[in-house]
């Protein structure tokens, strides 16, 4: 099976090792992975800020870059949502681009979703035995893509215990430009997540942006919260057995 890896600009810059782990994991599972070099950003920040002309330019660029790929896999639920659910809305008035958006939407998968729903993976390995994890359900992953149980199942199949967390499904407060436009509210939302977080070995999620927000906030407050992208944990699960 051949996959084009869409690292996404955020993971490229801030979760580079986790993104590399995603590639290593896919390859270990027998997937052929390529990296189209012209890729940049899916355009979601502009889309969410209402700057749709700019979002369209980036979305069109992304369509062109991934035009020939059988599957596109992203280590980011949020960017996958941009391709799956939002880009078509940008092109409602442009038949050619709209069709291309639906085409790409149907070929694009978030990493865990790809493992579970396309590769039918039930376990990537047992290398997380005894680990206590908190899983943050990113809004886009859980509500827009409907991926809720899959990451938890894979982590538990690896021997980890995903502990109950009363705020696990609540928004972390990042929200792209929201985090800068209404910083105090955005931070209060992160604080609610952190204040309810149980004692764990790591906080994980399928969305780097949420983790960046939560990790930054935790650090600023002097809280010791180890944050790991789910791709890194799953690679570790594989490598460790």
Partner 1 sequence: MAAKGYKAAARRTLEHAPEVREAVTRATLHFDRNRERAYGEVEAEAWRDWAAATKRHTLSRLDRYLLEAERNLTAPGTEVHWAEDAKDAQRILQELVERYGVRRVVKGKSMLSEELGVNEHLERLGVEVFETDLGEYIIQLAGEPPSHIVGPAIHKGLEEIRALFHERLGTPPDASPETLAAVARRVLREAFLTADMGISGANFVVAETGTVVLVENEGNIRLTTSTPRVHVVFVGIEKLLPRARDLEVFLQLLARAATGQKIGTFVSLINGPRREGEPDGPEHLHVIFVDNGRTSVLADREMHEALSCIRCGACLNACPVYRQTGGHAYGQVYSGPIGIVLTPGLKDPRLAEDLGYACSLCTACADVCPVRIPLPKQILTWRVRSTKHAPATERLAFEGYAEVMTRPRFYRLSSKLLRLTAPLTGAPWLPVLGAWAAGHGALEPSPKSFREIWEEELDGA
Nearer to partner 1, 40 or 123 (CB): 40
Minimum distance of partner 1 from residue 130's CB (angstroms): 28
Nearer to partner 1, 159 or 176 (CB): 176
Minimum distance of partner 1 from residue 99's CB (angstroms): 20
Q: Both tokens of residue 27?
A: 């390859």
Give which of 46, 131, 55, 121 is closest to 88, Cα–Cα. Answer: 55
Minimum distance of partner 1 from residue 187's CB (angstroms): 5
Minimum distance of partner 1 from residue 146's CB (angstroms): 11
Q: Are 67 and 4 in contact (CB under 8 A)?
A: no
End-to-end CA distance of the chain: 23
Nearer to partner 1, 99 or 195 (CB): 195
Using CB under 8 A, list all residues that contact partner 1. Answer: 7, 9, 11-17, 19-20, 23-24, 27, 35, 37-41, 43, 45-46, 48-55, 57-58, 61, 139-140, 143-144, 170-171, 173-189, 192, 212-213, 216-217, 219-220
Nearer to partner 1, 130 or 164 (CB): 164
User: CB neighbours of 238 closer than 8 A, spacing ≥ 6?
Assistant: 25, 28, 29, 124, 125, 127
Minimum distance of partner 1 from residue 122's CB (angstroms): 26
Nearer to partner 1, 68 or 184 (CB): 184
Minimum distance of partner 1 from residue 20's CB (angstroms): 5
Nearer to partner 1, 180 or 224 (CB): 180
């Amino acid at each position: 099976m051949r996959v084009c890896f869409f690292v996404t600009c955020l993971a490229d810059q801030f979760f580079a090792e986790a993104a590399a782990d995603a590639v290593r994991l896919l390859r270990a599972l027998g997937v052929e992975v390529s990296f189209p070099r012209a890729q940049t950003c899916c355009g979601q920040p502009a889309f969410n800020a209402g700057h749709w002309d700019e979002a369209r330019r980036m979305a069109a660029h992304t369509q062109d870059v991934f035009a020939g790929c059988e599957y596109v896999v992203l280590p980011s639920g949020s960017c996958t949502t941009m391709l799956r659910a939002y880009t078509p809305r940008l092109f409602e008035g442009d038949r050619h681009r709209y069709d291309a958006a639906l085409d790409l939407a149907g070929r694009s998968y978030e990493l865990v979703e790809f493992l579970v729903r396309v590769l039918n993976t039930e376990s990537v390995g047992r290398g997380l035995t005894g680990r206590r994890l908190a899983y943050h359900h990113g809004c886009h992953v859980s509500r827009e893509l409907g991926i809720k149980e899959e990451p938890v199942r894979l982590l538990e199949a690896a021997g980890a215990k995903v502990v109950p967390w009363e705020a696990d499904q609540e928004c972390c407060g990042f929200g792209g430009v929201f985090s800068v436009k209404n910083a105090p509210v955005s931070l209060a939302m992160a604080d609610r997540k952190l204040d309810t977080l149980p004692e764990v070995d790591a906080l994980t999620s399928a969305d780097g942006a949420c983790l960046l927000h939560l990790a930054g906030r935790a650090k600023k407050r002097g809280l010791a919260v180890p944050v790991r992208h789910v791709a890194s944990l799953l690679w570790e699960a594989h490598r460790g057995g």
